[in-house]
Structure 1
Amino acid sequence: MTDLLDGEAPSGYQELLGYRLSRWEEGLAEMELPLTAAHLNRAGVVHGGVLMSLLDTVSGFSVTFCPVEGRLRRAMTLSLSTSFLGQARDGTLVATGRLRGGGRKIVGAAAEIRHRETGALLATSEGMFKYRPGSENREGIER
């Protein structure tokens, strides 16, 4: 499998949740999360915080793709509006984020999470993100 993070080590939060970046290109990102008991709430369904984390993270990736090898882009979340639409107890979640547009420093992204096995739509979001200094440029910054 191709290393979509170009050698960058997984974050502690990525290791904690267990998601994997499965697709990353200009304006689009996709992540997968196989559900375990650690992702479930007291009712036995995936916790809303897990869904929000995936929506936020995949949105951030969708706005920070850098086509220049060895360089990167970073952004921070300014706002994230989320709608919970379904539940899952097991299987794999697939989160997809898309750059919606914006200006030079602040951009919008939309994301959704579907249950891979059933195709059910579980959650959606709209968010605004601000590029960190230097990341406004498509060429990114040095690692």
Structure 2
Amino acid sequence: MSSSLTPDAVPALNQAAEKFKHGFLGTIGFHFLEWEEDRVVLGLNVVEKHLNLGNVIHGGVLATLLDVSGACSGTYCPYPGRVRKALTLSLTTTFTGQAGPGLVRAIGVKRAGGNRIFNSSMEVLDANDRLLAFGEGTFRLRGGSEDPKGVPVDY
């Protein structure tokens, strides 16, 4: 997969990834493959801790990837030391396939929105581009995140 990142965007992407190493999302262990205005691609190397009793990726992991990719599709911030944040207002999920260990990708695309609320569509694909899950979400930008410059990073 080719990345749409410009050299100037790489530091911002790496800094964004650091933000997601804290708390619950840090336990999932996803990484950013691409991130630009209105679109994000997350990667996850599925390992044993991500599997359910049937030895396939747990639905909760898929739902988390849908949620995060949807929110990130509307919160791109290329400014070093700054971030934009959103919270989920609604999330629909449909599970369509199963996968065991290996790379999966979550793609989020912002479809519409105003100053504070936006809608995204998301999908999770396995390494062979088979659809594992898809969804739609409505997200609200947190205070200060309406500005493309976001707010200072606070760990």
Q: Please give the per-residue CA displacement for 1:39-90, whole angstroms capped at 9, x wherever unaligned.
A: 1111111110000001101111111001333321111000000010100012
Instruction: Give the match for residue 11 of structure 1.
Output: 22
Percent identity, aligned pairs only, is: 39
Q: What's the TM-score once normalised by structure 2's chain length? A: 0.85
Unaligned 5+ residue runs, structure 1?
Answer: none
1:135 aligns with 2:141: no
4+ long deviations beyond 6 Å? none
1:124 aligns with 2:127: no
Structure 1 counterpart of 2:75, from 64, 71, 74: 64
Cα RMSD (Å): 1.7
Find the residue that maps to 1:6 and give its secondary structure: helix
Q: CA–CA distance in 2 between the matches of 1:60 and 1:107?
A: 9
1:82-121 matches, within 5 Å, as 82-116=93-127, 118-121=128-131
Find the residue that maps to 2:15 and give its secondary structure: coil
1:27 aligns with 2:38: yes
Q: What's the TM-score once normalised by structure 1's chain length? A: 0.91
More helix by share: 2
Unaligned 5+ residue runs, structure 2?
Answer: 1-6
How far is 1:5 from its partner? Answer: 4.1
Instruction: Give the match for residue 47 of structure 1.
Output: 58
Q: CA–CA distance in 2 between the matches of 1:59 and 1:5?
A: 19
